[in-house]
Amino acid sequence: MLLAAFAVGIWGTVLRPAAYEVRGVLVARPTPDLIVVRHEPVAGLGMGAMELMAVSAEPALLDPLAPKEGDRVKLAVRQRDDRLILLRIERLP
């Protein structure tokens, strides 16, 4: 039973790549499905601090939060091909 649970866990990481936590400041929302963030270092993505990151997002994730330029945010993103996809966003104090 334990071996089966372990195998399912491993298989889930193969099918679903890792998600990364990103903290930063929203710079812009140039289109309804794209945000640009100036962020802290994200080692897993090989990005240093304060680089600009473009993140593709479903408007349904962004619209309820109504993020504005200058908002401090915490994101969960996943890399898909050459894009970063937003999984979750929250405003920080």
Per-residue pLDDT tens over the stretch 70-80 = 999 999 999 99
Q: Is the pLDDT of residue 10 over 90?
A: no
Token pair 């601090």 in the structure block, residue:
49
The strand pairing partners of 47, in sequence order, are: 42
Cβ 73 vs Cβ 67: under 8 Å? yes
Domain that holds residue 60: 19-91
Residue 46 in any domain: the answer is yes
Residue 49 in any domain: the answer is yes
Cβ 55 vs Cβ 75: under 8 Å? yes
pLDDT at 18: 85
Q: Is the pLDDT of residue 55 over 80?
A: yes
In order of 1, 30, 64, the CA distances from 80 in angstroms are 33, 20, 24
The strand pairing partners of 24, in sequence order, are: 39, 73
Q: The domain that contains 42 carries what CATH number?
A: 2.40.50.320
Residue 13 in any domain: the answer is no
Q: What is the number of structural domains in the chain? A: 1
What is the value of pTM for the model shown? 0.79
